[in-house]
Amino acid sequence: MAIFKGSGVAIATPFHQNDLSVDYEAFDKLIEYQIANHSDAIIVCGTTGEAATLNEEEYLSVCRFCVERVKGRVPVIAGAGSNNTAVAVAHSKMMQEIGADAVLIVNPYYNKGTQNGIYEHMKAVSDAIEIPIIMYNVPGRTGSNMVAETTARIVKEVKNVVGIKEASGNISQIVKIMELTDGNIDLYSGNDDQTVPILSMGGLGIISVVANAAPSLMHEMCEAFFAGDVKKAAALQCKSMPLFEAMFCEVNPIPVKKALQMMGLCDGSLRLPLTQLEEKNEERVRKALEGLSLL
- Cis status of the peptide bond prior to 255, with omega within 30 of 0: no
Q: Which of 103, 110, 102, 100 is nearest to 88 (CA)?
A: 103
Distance CA 76, CA 92 (A): 13
Using CA atoms, how far apart are residues 59 and 85, in angstroms rounded to an integer? 17
Chain-centroid distance, C-alpha 205: 11
d(CA 80, CA 90): 9
User: Which positions are catalytic?
Assistant: 136, 165
The residue among 264, 274, 271 whose CA lies nearest residue 30 is 264
Q: Which distant-in-sequence residues (6+ apart) come within 8 Å of 47 by Cβ?
A: 10, 79, 138, 141, 252, 253
